[in-house]
């Protein structure tokens, strides 16, 4: 309750968290449902999915380092915005995917931004927590609840669109709206100016 009150009173923090909530709906849902998408829409077997998961995990390490470097050069807001643009591209490209090779390439992009967006988002949030607070654990608990709630709503949206339209491709395309919304709110938070 105390954390919620603080978040509400700090415009930059509330805009960032709302942005984080929106793009987390996309990030977590795409990450969790990528294997199901690969199975249903591309026809990948279990052995090929193991390769995809390994690709994603290895490239995620490189992505985390790259976006940490980018945030040092241009700031956290720029680094997150860059990942969001790539996520929008991933969702749109996912709609048009036809073959296994394209899926592997898209999985590589997904891994690259997955590592980056998670680490930079957490880092950004930690910088927005008031310096005088003694409730750091409560602030991060609030952050985690936001993320878990985003997973539930994102997965529900994905499933509903799949059921209504009969295609996971439409669900993938719809996920881009969460990233676009998160991108717009992130620009409104003006992190570069407010974190300086």
Helices 46-74 and 11-37, packing angle to 10 deg: 160
Q: What angle do CA 103, 106, 108 make, to 5 degrees?
A: 110
Q: What angle do CA 60, 61, 65 make, to 5 degrees?
A: 110
Averages of pLDDT over runs of 10 residues in the chain (196 residues) are: 84 90 91 82 82 85 92 91 95 89 88 88 88 82 91 92 90 93 90 62
As a whole number of angstroms, the distance between CA 59 and CA 191 comes to: 27
Quick one: pLDDT at residue 195? Answer: 57
Quick one: pLDDT at residue 194? Answer: 57
Q: How many other C-beta atoms are found inside a 10 Å radius of the C-beta of residue 36? A: 13
Distances from the Cα of 182 to the Cα of 27, 30, 55, 80, 117, angstroms:
11, 15, 26, 10, 12
Is the pTM above the cut of 0.95?
no
Quick one: pLDDT at residue 12? Answer: 86
Closest to 150 in 3D by CA, of 4, 16, 14, 26: 26
Distances from the Cα of 169 to the Cα of 51, 102, 137, angstroms:
22, 14, 39
Find the radius of gyration of the CA atoms of the chain: 17
Quick one: pLDDT at residue 157? Answer: 92
């Amino acid at each position: 309750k105390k954390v919620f009150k603080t978040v509400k009173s700090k415009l930059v923090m509330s805009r960032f968290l709302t942005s984080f909530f929106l793009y987390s709906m996309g990030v977590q849902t795409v990450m969790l449902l990528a294997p199901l998408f690969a199975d249903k829409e591309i026809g990948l077997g279990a052995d090929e999915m193991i390769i995809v998961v390994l690709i994603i995990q290895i490239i995620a390490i490189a992505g985390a380092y790259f976006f940490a470097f980018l945030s040092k050069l241009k700031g956290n807001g720029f680094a997150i915005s860059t990942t969001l643009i790539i996520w929008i591209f991933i969702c749109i490209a996912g709609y048009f995917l036809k073959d296994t090779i394209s899926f592997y390439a898209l999985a590589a992009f997904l891994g690259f931004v997955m590592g980056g967006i998670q680490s930079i988002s957490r880092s950004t949030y930690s910088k927005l927590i008031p310096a005088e607070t003694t409730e750091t654990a409560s602030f991060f608990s609030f952050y985690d609840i936001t993320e878990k709630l985003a997973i539930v709503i994102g997965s529900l949206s994905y499933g509903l669109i799949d059921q209504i339209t009969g295609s996971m491709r439409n669900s993938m395309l719809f996920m881009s709206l969460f990233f676009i919304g998160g991108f717009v709110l992130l620009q409104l938070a003006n992190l570069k100016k407010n974190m300086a």
